[in-house]
Structure 1
Amino acid sequence: MSPSLLIASLWVLAASIVALLPMRRQYIPGVTLLILAPAVIGFIGYQHGWLVALGGVLALGSMFRRPLRYGIARLRGQNPEVPK
């Protein structure tokens, strides 16, 4: 098993476990995964090429679309509603 496949598998497993948590408990582990994602995608891209890395970026954007929208709204100075 290649190291990049192992790292990506662990990241996906951790993201799946975080997704099972109630929304109010997802923030800290979710932000941690979001911060680690570029490093994981960069390593995968280094090992397998830019097309695979592009697929990883698209998958990341799809998986974290709501937190990314929230973060962009906060950066714009808006006060978006947080789900309970």
Structure 2
Amino acid sequence: MILPLAMCLIWLIAANVIAMFPSRDYHWRAAYVLIAIGVPLLGWITYEGGPIVGMLVLAAGVSILRWPVVYFWRWLRRQLG
């Protein structure tokens, strides 16, 4: 359980450091990479720590990558309604 939590903390720190630097594409490439790394990491932490820990880590990831989530939510509402 320690290794998945340590990897999640490294992911969170890396996401915050990436957000501090300026970017021409408003960090979208970095967001895609962070999502590609974060989804399997979220599955791993949920498997090892249970659904409560998984939901906490998911909430932390969504708070950092909020704009991709907002755009996905808007797209999903347009598709359904």
Please provide the CA RMSD for this pair: 2.3
Q: Spell out the pairing of 1:1-84 with structure 2 (5 A cutoff).
A: 2-24=2-24, 26-73=27-74, 76=78
Higher RCO (CA 8 Å, separation ≥ 6 residues): 2
CA distance in 1, matches of 2:6, 2:43: 14
Identity of aligned residues (%): 27
For residue 73 of structure 1, report the CA deviation from its aligned partner.
4.5
SS for the counterpart of 1:3 is helix
Q: Is the 8 A contact 2:15 2:64 kept in 1?
A: no
Number of aligned positions between the proteins: 77
* Contact preservation (8 Å) 1:18, 1:30: no
2:4–2:44 CA contact under 8 A, matched in 1 = yes
Counterpart Cα distance in 1 of 2:71 and 2:60: 18
Greater per-residue helix proportion: 2
Using the TM superposition, give the Cα deviation of residue 19 of structure 1 relative to its aligned residue in structure 2, in angstroms. Answer: 0.9
Q: Note if contact 2:12-2:61 (Cα within 8 Å) is conserved in structure 1.
A: no
TM-score computed with the length of structure 2 as normaliser: 0.73
Q: What residue ranges of structure 2 are gaps of 5+ in the alignment?
A: none
Partner of 1:81: none
- Report the AA paired with residue 4 of structure 1: P
Classify the secondary structure of the residue corresponding to 1:24: coil
